Structure 1
């Protein structure tokens, strides 16, 4: 069987559950820590390794690149370092690789922590919130040291919306896609790709609405309504091909559009495991997109290997 890589799958490492930030209730584990503002329930599939292995066997996915659950990610630098260690343990247990976390409060320190993380064999990139907790937006100058380090060390960065982002409603259905779209559009409009060529960013959930409504972004730039900087390539849509995307757009036609028209070679299979609104059979959805054999292989494995080089 050919290898199938799931590039968007979350986990809460079991080794973390002994920390005081976690407690067991009648309904299962919950997470509550200073700065988070509320208690977050943790579904059993988020931590249970046997359930994950069963899902892999049922779907034909051969391995997942493990991402921390964003809801437990932003809790200070000491916590981020501990989370990274726990992610490495989970990666070893499951025979795969994982994404790191950094505290972005101090961008220079975050840049150094990113460099240190990707020198760890199990860590192949970084997951970053599109709505940093109580921090400046990703397109601000604050993140320049982090982008610079990511380019210099070829460190991929997954951009993922938070549970309590600015969307204001419809949560998992459309709200987080709005958050994706706003963050990605602002990165383009503020010239981040012009200033940091070679930046490798993975836009989850199929890139939100951006790839499918890029014409309106171009229109706003043309009329000056959304023009922030003079873009070297003339219009915002010219930068869509700089992102990598996952297939958590959830339908075969959307995956086909992304893969054939937006970013050939830069679309990779994702499930958003273990969330119910994710894709329960991501490999089947990709096959239903009726792509060429070359593009199908790219989505199933090739694009992930290209982005996360250490997993090959």
Structure 2
């Protein structure tokens, strides 16, 4: 198990806990060793998010040989401006430094500001030129739009051009119908991700960018359970298929997904709809919704170590290393 690669884990240095301008939640902060997001307790130790030594120790315990680190999603800089560009640059530089000191155990998925296409392109080009950075992490939604239009579509186009992997992570956006019981996460995150998968497939993005390496966390959210519905509608309705020439259930098998689905039958469904070669081990470290034993869960769920590693290597673009 010590050769598995975890493609979904989070890290943020303490100096960036203030979060970027325009973030949907208040700043992160420490209270007696516990991490808070505004007044919301995150149920994790502060060091688990900010201390790379804690991350490496968790990898040793959990049987993970390599881990791809990205920022927690509420740290994504959604708007333009000098402050957010500086925030992204500081994170990317700190991430690259930690990766360089990890003896190959860590790789990085950086961030870009999402206010303008020009700024995103400039920052993506910087990521592509940075040692140890394999790609970029982005949200599934931005200003009510998803991956088929606007700045997010531009980021995918540029990532494809620059041979960068793209990790899509939901932001747990607050909505009035989900104020209690953590529903913004329990329902909101899977719905955000499914919206992005549907927009990507029905918008013909993968047909336009066949070389794009893109991974959806939490097993693709609701998408594996909805793709047959999308496929039926694609055949039945011209408006559903107007932007795509490939049925969504076929196109979905070109995407990558992680294993953070918590249950064996759900992992089996993901394997059937996505294909075993497209599923990589994920943990969602260090959050309370993380899979507690990611390597064991993936292997006990019927996936082979070689399959999991091959999917992670393919997604991250690791070649002959």
- Which TM-score tier does this pair reach, normalised by the shorter chain? 0.7 to 0.9
Cα distance change of structure 1 residues 84 and 258 upon mapping to structure 2, 3 Å threshold: same
User: Out of 273, 276, 284, which is 1:264 matched to?
Assistant: 276
Q: Partner residue of 1:91? A: 99
- Tell whether 2:277 aligns with 1:277: no
- Alignment partner for residue 309 of structure 1, among 285, 300, 317? 317
Q: 1:107 aligns with which of 113, 117, 120?
A: 117
**Any idea what the Cα deviations from partners look like across 1:144-178, whole Å, max 9, x if unmatched?**
43222222222110011002256953233232111
1:94 alignment partner, SS class:
coil
Q: Report deviation, 1:19.
A: 9.3
Whether the aligned pair in 2 keeps the contact of 1:108 and 1:145 (CA below 8 Å) is: no
Residue of structure 1 in register with 2:154 after alignment: 145
| Contact 2:219–2:259 (CA under 8 A) maintained in structure 1 | yes
Between 1:18-27 and 1:2-11, the stretch displaced more is 18-27
> Which ranges in structure 2 are unaligned for 5 or more consecutive residues?
21-26, 79-83
Gaps of 5+ in 1: 32-37
Q: Any idea what SS the aligned residue of 1:161 has?
A: coil
- Specify whether residues 290 and 48 from structure 1 end up closer, same or farther in structure 2 by C-alpha distance, changes over 3 A only: same
| Number of residue-to-residue matches in the alignment | 300
Shift in alpha-carbon separation, 1:60–1:175, aligned structure 2, 3 A: same
Task: Give yes or no for the alignment of 1:55 onto 2:68.
Answer: no
Distance change >3 Å, CA 142–CA 239, structure 1 → 2: same
* Residue 129 of structure 2: aligned partner: 119
Kindly indicate whether the alpha-carbon contact (under 8 Å) linking 1:191 and 1:231 is maintained by their aligned counterparts in 2. yes
Q: RMSD value over aligned CA atoms? A: 2.8
* Matched-pair contact (CA < 8 Å) for 1:9–1:270: yes
> Is the Cα–Cα contact under 8 Å of residues 194 and 223 in structure 2 kept in the other structure?
yes
| Cα separation, 1, equivalents of 2:301 and 2:15 | 39
Does structure 2 conserve the Cα–Cα contact (< 8 Å) formed by 1:15 and 1:86?
no
Instruction: Identify the residue that residue 158 of structure 1 maps to in structure 2.
Output: 167
Change in Cα spacing, 1:217 to 1:281, as seen in structure 2 (3 Å) is same
C-alpha separation in 1, matches of 2:19 and 2:112: 19
SS of residue in 1 equivalent to 2:187: helix
Q: Give the aligned partner of residue 87 of structure 2.
A: 79
- Aligned-partner SS, 1:82: helix
SS at match of 1:105: coil
**Which structure 2 residues correspond to residues 184-199 of structure 1 after superposition, within 5 A?**
184-199=197-212
Question: CA separation of 1:141/1:48 partners in 2, compared to 1, >3 Å: closer, same or farther?
Answer: closer
TM-score by length of 1: 0.85
My pick for the range that moved more, 140-149 or 185-194, is 140-149
Q: Separation in 2 of the partners of 1:167 and 1:278?
A: 25
Q: Distance in 2 between matches of 1:215 and 1:92?
A: 43
Q: Which secondary structure state, in structure 2, belongs to the residue aligned with residue 265 of structure 1?
A: helix
Shift in alpha-carbon separation, 1:153–1:168, aligned structure 2, 3 A: farther
Contact 2:175 2:184 in 1 (8 A): no
In 1, Cα distance between equivalents of 2:194 and 2:33: 34
